């Protein structure tokens, strides 16, 4: 079979590879001039770096398994995680249970309540009954108002911005279950979480996937924007694609897979039946705006910093070179400053210069010596489909991979739940949907 795939991110490339493994010919079209979508890279000090901070967890076995298949297993690095919490004007270490016991912003009794709540969530396996409650309600009831306000609210804001109080508890539960899986065995392992990073960057994985897809007889084309899915008599028959500045060309396919976001999909197809269209439009996405500082020295000793101080203008700070050494990036220190927000928020419209001006005085609160002269370069990245908002009862509203048009399927991050969206789950979903599409054809034959 010949399959047309829209989108050269983790999901589209993994799906194409899966089709190739079964002897089918998949053609991937990516509108950007590079592969990787949300996990794409740009060079810093001659080394590829993700536009948005990226790491993996031990539980990300779809991604690590794929790396093994591609002969890239030796490129994975597992590094002790190093988490901090900015609160009350200082950084608190927040990696181990001992750090928790020393965490000053909470009185001792609340620290114990937080520890017990965390342990309960890490051990719990069932999530469906948590789905009807918001994380706010559940954590306030279980751990108390103060623990919620000091710990859980900043965590939820850090990921869901202004929607922090509407998020399903199933999502938060999953975060804790997942973090447990990232810890090793025994007491030592329990005390130390490890995070993973492919040392050749995520670009190496996507480039190797593209090579494999080509060897399998498929193809991967960048700067190739799909304009329309050709649908005839309710069936997808092909794609209309513009490569570079060339004319729009029609290509015929037996099956089509779209891995684009739910707000792009309707613009590529004829009018959708109301029910499916509503499922797509009901999902709210938050945008991520990320300012990346390339510094001549370290800013903080922490890799992942939760910001528990509402007066700070960013929701998280990730100092990538506290995970991977600065020497890997030509002795540049890399700090991501991140915000998740909706398009109506004022920061959404700010330029990278305006954002840096807003952020600068607050960087001095993290390191009093910080000075703009430390900044060698800075970059801006915005992703509008960064974070689907997963509210109560979300599992019942997820759009199906089967679209209302025959031979046309959809696989995007809104269909990942209760896990947090991530490259691992896009790889897993891409491969699963490819198998579903092939199985549907065998059943129909």
Ligand X SMILES: Cc1cc2nc3c(=O)[nH]c(=O)nc-3n(C[C@H](O)[C@H](O)[C@H](O)COP(=O)(O)OP(=O)(O)OC[C@H]3O[C@@H](n4cnc5c(N)ncnc54)[C@H](O)[C@@H]3O)c2cc1C
* Rounded Cα–Cα distance for residues 333 and 40 (Å): 19
Residue whose beta carbon is closest to ligand X? 37
Other residues' Cβ atoms within 10 Å of the Cβ of residue 383: 19
Q: What six digits make up the tokens of 170?
A: 């199933």
Counting every residue written for the chain, the total comes to 445
Of 264, 294, 295, 326, the one binding ligand X by CB under 6 A? 264
Do residues 433 and 18 lie in contact, with contact meaning Cβ atoms separated by under 8 Å? no
The label of the residue with tokens 């001792």 reads 108
Give the distance, in angstroms, between the CA of residue 269 and the centroid of all CA atoms in the same chain: 26
To ligand X, the closest distance from the beta carbon of 184 in angstroms equals: 20
To ligand X, the closest distance from the beta carbon of 44 in angstroms equals: 16
Q: What kind and span of H or E run contains 99? A: helix 97-101
Angle between helices 153-160 and 135-143 (to 10 degrees): 170
- Measured from the CB atom, the residue of 106 and 198 that comes closer to ligand X is 198
Longest dimension (CA), the chain: 69
Of 293, 386, 437, 438, the one binding ligand X by CB under 6 A? 386
What 3-state DSSP class applies to 84? strand
27 touches ligand X (CB under 6 A): no
* Rounded Cα–Cα distance for residues 49 and 332 (Å): 11
- Measured from the CB atom, the residue of 140 and 352 that comes closer to ligand X is 352
- Measured from the CB atom, the residue of 229 and 312 that comes closer to ligand X is 229
Of 15, 203, 209, 290, the one binding ligand X by CB under 6 A? 290
To ligand X, the closest distance from the beta carbon of 116 in angstroms equals: 28
To ligand X, the closest distance from the beta carbon of 314 in angstroms equals: 12
Of 87, 300, 426, 432, the one binding ligand X by CB under 6 A? 426
To ligand X, the closest distance from the beta carbon of 194 in angstroms equals: 14
C-alpha torsion sign, points 295, 300, 303, 305: negative
Map residues 196-235 to x or -, x wherever contact with ligand X holds by CB under 6 A.
-----------------------------xx---------
Instruction: Please name every residue paired with 80 in a beta bridge, in sequence order, or none if there are none.
Output: 194
Of 5, 6, 210, 356, the one binding ligand X by CB under 6 A? 6
398 touches ligand X (CB under 6 A): no
Stretch that binds ligand X, among 50-58, 102-110, 271-279, 295-303 (CB under 6 A): 50-58
Q: What is the DSSP string of 234-279?
A: TEEEEEEEEETTS-EEEEE-SEEEE-S-TTTHHHHSSPPPHHHHHH
Size of the site for ligand X (CB under 6 A): 36
Task: List interacting residues with ligand X (CB under 6 A).
Answer: 6-12, 29-32, 37-39, 52-56, 225-226, 259-260, 264, 288, 290, 383, 385-386, 412-413, 421-424, 426
């Amino acid at each position: 079979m010949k399959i047309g795939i829209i989108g050269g991110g983790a999901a589209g490339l993994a799906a194409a590879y899966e089709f190739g493994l079964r002897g089918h010919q998949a053609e991937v079209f990516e509108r950007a001039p590079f592969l990787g979508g949300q996990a794409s890279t740009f060079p810093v000090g001659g080394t590829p770096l993700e536009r948005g901070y990226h790491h993996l967890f031990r539980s990300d076995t779809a991604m690590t398994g794929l790396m093994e298949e591609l002969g890239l297993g030796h490129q994975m690095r597992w590094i002790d995680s190093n988490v901090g919490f900015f609160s009350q004007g200082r950084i608190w270490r927040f990696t181990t249970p001992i750090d928790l016991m020393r965490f000053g912003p909470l009185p001792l009794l609340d620290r114990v309540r937080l520890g017990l709540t965390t342990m309960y969530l890490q051990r719990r396996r069932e999530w469906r009954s948590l789905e009807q409650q918001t994380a706010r309600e559940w954590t306030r009831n279980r751990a108390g108002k103060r623990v919620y306000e000091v710990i859980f609210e900043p965590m939820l804001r850090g990921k869901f911005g202004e929607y922090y109080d509407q998020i399903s508890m199933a999502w938060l539960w999953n975060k804790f279950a997942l973090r447990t899986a990232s810890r090793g065995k025994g007491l030592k392992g329990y005390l130390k979480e490890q995070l993973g990073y492919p040392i050749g960057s995520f670009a190496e994985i996507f480039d190797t996937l593209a090579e494999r897809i080509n060897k399998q007889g498929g193809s991967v084309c960048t700067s190739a924007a799909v304009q329309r899915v050709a649908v005839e008599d309710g069936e997808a028959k092909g794609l209309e694609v513009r490569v570079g500045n060339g004319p729009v060309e029609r290509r015929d396919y037996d099956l089509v897979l779209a891995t684009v976001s739910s707000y792009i999909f309707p613009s590529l197809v004829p009018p959708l039946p109301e029910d499916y269209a509503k499922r797509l439009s009901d999902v709210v996405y938050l945008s991520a705006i990320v300012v990346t500082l390339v510094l001549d020295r370290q800013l903080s000793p922490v890799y992942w910093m939760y910001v528990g101080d509402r007066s700070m203008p960013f929701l998280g700070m990730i100092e990538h070179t506290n995970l991977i050494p600065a020497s890997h990036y030509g002795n540049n220190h890399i700090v991501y400053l991140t915000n998740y927000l909706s398009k109506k928020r004022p920061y959404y419209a700010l330029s990278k210069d305006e954002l840096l001006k807003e952020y600068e005085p607050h960087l001095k609160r993290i390191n009093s010596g910080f000075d703009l002269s430390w900044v060698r370069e800075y970059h801006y990245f915005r992703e509008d489909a960064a974070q689907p908002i997963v509210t109560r009862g979300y599992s019942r509203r997820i759009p199906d991979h089967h679209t209302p048009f025959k031979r046309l399927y959809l696989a995007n991050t809104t269909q990942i739940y209760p896990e947090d969206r991530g490259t691992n789950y896009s790889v897993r979903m891409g491969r699963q949907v490819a198998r579903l599409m092939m199985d549907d054809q065998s059943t129909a034959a």
